Amino acid sequence: MNENNKFDAIVIGSGISGGFAAMELCTKGYKTLVLERGPMIEHGDYPTAMLDKWDLPNQGKVSQQEISKHYPKQNRLAWWVNEDNKHLINKDDEYPYNEDERFDWIRGHHVGGRSLMWGRQCYRWSDIDFEANAKEGVGVDWPIRYADIAPWYDYVETFVGVSGQAEGLKQVPDGVFLKPFPLNCVEQKFREAVAETYPDRVVTPGRVANLSEYNPEIHKGKRGQCQSRDRCWRGCPFGAYFSSQAATLPVATDTGNLTLRPNSIVMEIMYDAAAGKASGVRVKDATSGEITDYTARIIFCNASTVGTTAILLNSRSETFPNGLGNNSGEIGHNIMDHHYGMGASAFWPGNEDDYYQGRKPTGFYIPRFTNIDEQTQRSDYRRGFGYQGGARRVENIPEGKVGVGLKQEIFKPGGYHIGMTCFGEMLPHHDNRMYLNFDERDQHGMPIITFDAKLRENELALREHGVKCAVEMLEAAGCTNIKSYNSLTAPGACIHEMGTARMGRDPKTSVLNQWNQMHDVANVFVTDGACMTSSGTQNPSITYMALTARAVDYAHKQIQAGVL
């Protein structure tokens, strides 16, 4: 083994959780190798960030011919693949996967991963979430409670910079907030109208990882204040939203302890049966095809839910013939996502003399309000849903006018339009799974990932009530031309896939313990979405980061104590 291939720690993946793991390990003094299967993207290397719509081909729309050839699955959401972000999105013909049941696996392979593309919404979990499985007899019990993770939420939110407004709600606890991006005039009136008719439904500014205020002593890396450009999925040259490129990787680099290796496909985690632990990882260079082994004392898996699970399932040995640490047989099972494609929209009467400045990076959020206590208990479904939405002036495009008359009219704003999308919780179900097809291989010789998961009875009942409540709130606000929709989405479409290597109390029914440490392989930690035991209704990334920081702290203490 080449001495240059030996490290204290290896992190697989450079996205939201992987970047955070790298920063925490490096700042604690560990020589850390970060492996990313995609190419390098430096902070600022965002080619479309400063382009206006008219600078892009076809007004930013990708041709149908190109969609059909390269993005037939990635563009199932229709709005997802555009000229301004397609360079960050995998081409389906280059990264194939199979489906027994439809699964919309939306992703991009590059340094920073989906931290460059995420929606940045940050909401804490509460004990309503952590206790639900145990109370309802669903899945397995979380091995942690809110008190275990609360200080780590504080720690992560302080560094990330989460803009939001305290509301004192038990279902989404308040956090360490920067000043919120305020509701615009219509959103504020909508908040007041909803509160008057439905006091348990709270319309609050979206809690978002964009710096409404910038403090260089806290928000380290390459960051600055948000310019309200609303071009976040292109990459932000100002570093105004949290990403691996702008925040965690620069801090890790400054320690001198980081080695970042892009174009590195992790084939497997190697297991040393004599030592009873993982010895390192085997990596294939995506460009040269060269295969190299790297060793480390501890390994953090942060390749995203699906990526991490595929690596674990492919890490087969005499000790673990069904995948590393898979004595429970649960790796790959219990896959979850949030489900959406449901909600309502309407025209807002009035406020035509009011306008707003900039394009703020978030609208409003309505936290879950069903099944949170005895008063809100329902008999037709379990768990709940939340909403993300906003109000804006619509374009005024008159019919039948050309030339000067058209130019004069299109500069006049139209009325306000308001809408909200419902995000529902998906229950863990053992038969919802992903697995590897070892009889079919991709261009790098890796077995093809295959999905077999679907929405079930509870999700379908929840969706109907979610749409009904959206319409109720718009009616209460006096909106007109209300239109609702319930277009059934496949798992994966919300891009919050999770749960395939779940935490739990019993090694017989779970993969990880309360510290995100594998029950069966003590020096391997999983802190991306694969670790989740249930899905909640909240966007999960801030929870991944909190669990990651907590797990690194635990691993560090175990190493200091001579246990690891």
**334-353: pLDDT as tens digits:** 999 999 999 999 999 999 88
When comparing pLDDT for 77 and 40, which is higher? 40
Q: Are 344 and 420 in contact (CB under 8 A)?
A: yes
* Tokens coding 517: 């440490």
pLDDT computed for residue 356 by the predictor: 84
For 4, residues 6+ apart whose C-beta sits below 8 A from its C-beta are none
pLDDT computed for residue 102 by the predictor: 97
As a whole number of Å, the CA-based R_g of the chain is: 23
396 pLDDT tier (thresholds 50, 70, 90): confident
The mean pLDDT of the chain is 96
Average confidence (pLDDT) over 35-55: 96
pLDDT computed for residue 447 by the predictor: 98
* Tokens coding 346: 């309407």
Cα 416 to Cα 479: distance, rounded to the nearest angstrom: 10
408 pLDDT tier (thresholds 50, 70, 90): confident
> Which residue matches tokens 């069903």?
370
Q: Which residues pair with 386 in a beta bridge?
A: 423
Model pTM score? 0.96
In order of start, what are the domains of the chain with their CATH numbers?
1-157+242-337+428-454+495-564 (3.50.50.60), 182-207+227-240+339-424+456-489 (no CATH)
Average confidence (pLDDT) over 440-467: 97
Q: Long-range contact list for 89-96, CB < 8 A, 24+ apart? A: 89/117, 93/69, 94/70, 94/443, 95/442, 96/442, 96/448
Give the pairing of strands 342-348 and 364-366: unpaired
For 520, residues 6+ apart whose C-beta sits below 8 A from its C-beta are 320, 324, 325, 326, 327, 507
pLDDT computed for residue 401 by the predictor: 85
Q: 311: closest CA among 430, 446, 440?
A: 446
**Model confidence at 500: pLDDT above 60:** yes
For 274, residues 6+ apart whose C-beta sits below 8 A from its C-beta are none
**Model confidence at 1: pLDDT above 60:** no
pLDDT computed for residue 504 by the predictor: 98
398 pLDDT tier (thresholds 50, 70, 90): confident
pLDDT computed for residue 2 by the predictor: 67
Average confidence (pLDDT) over 486-513: 96
- HSE-up (13 A, CA, CB side) for residue 3: 0
- Helix pair angle (457-476, 185-197), 10° resolution: 110
Average confidence (pLDDT) over 48-60: 93
Q: Are 202 and 195 in contact (CB under 8 A)?
A: yes
Q: Which residues pair with 518 in a beta bridge?
A: 512
pLDDT computed for residue 371 by the predictor: 97
Q: Are 17 and 544 in contact (CB under 8 A)?
A: yes
Angle CA 102–105–107, to nearest 5: 165
Give the pLDDT confidence of 69-102 residue by residue, as tens digits: 999 999 998 889 999 999 999 999 999 999 999 9
Cα 381 to Cα 498: distance, rounded to the nearest angstrom: 21
Average confidence (pLDDT) over 494-503: 97
Strand extents, DSSP E, 350-465: 364-366, 385-393, 416-424, 433-441, 447-452
For 28, residues 6+ apart whose C-beta sits below 8 A from its C-beta are 552, 556
For 491, residues 6+ apart whose C-beta sits below 8 A from its C-beta are 103, 104, 335, 336, 337, 339, 426, 432, 451, 453, 454, 455, 497
**Model confidence at 300: pLDDT above 70:** yes
The single-letter DSSP state of residue 244 is I
With H, G, I as helix, E, B as strand and everything else as coil, classify residue 136.
helix
Q: How many of the other CB atoms lie within 10 Å of CB of 559?
A: 17
Instruction: Write out 245-272 in H/E/C secondary structure.
Output: HHHHHHHHHHCCCEEEECCEEEEEEEEE
Give the pLDDT confidence of 354-373 residue by residue, as tens digits: 888 889 999 999 999 999 99
Give the pLDDT confidence of 103-150 residue by residue, as tens digits: 999 999 999 999 999 999 999 999 999 999 999 999 999 999 999 999
Give the pLDDT confidence of 267-299 residue by residue, as tens digits: 999 999 999 999 999 999 999 999 999 999 999
pLDDT computed for residue 8 by the predictor: 98
Average confidence (pLDDT) over 302-328: 98
Average confidence (pLDDT) over 312-333: 98
* Tokens coding 220: 């380290």
Q: Which helix (H) or strand (E) covers residue 20, if one does?
A: helix 16-27
Give the pLDDT confidence of 158-195 residue by residue, as tens digits: 999 999 999 999 999 999 999 999 999 999 999 999 99
Q: For residue 422, how far is the Cα from the chain centroid? A: 16
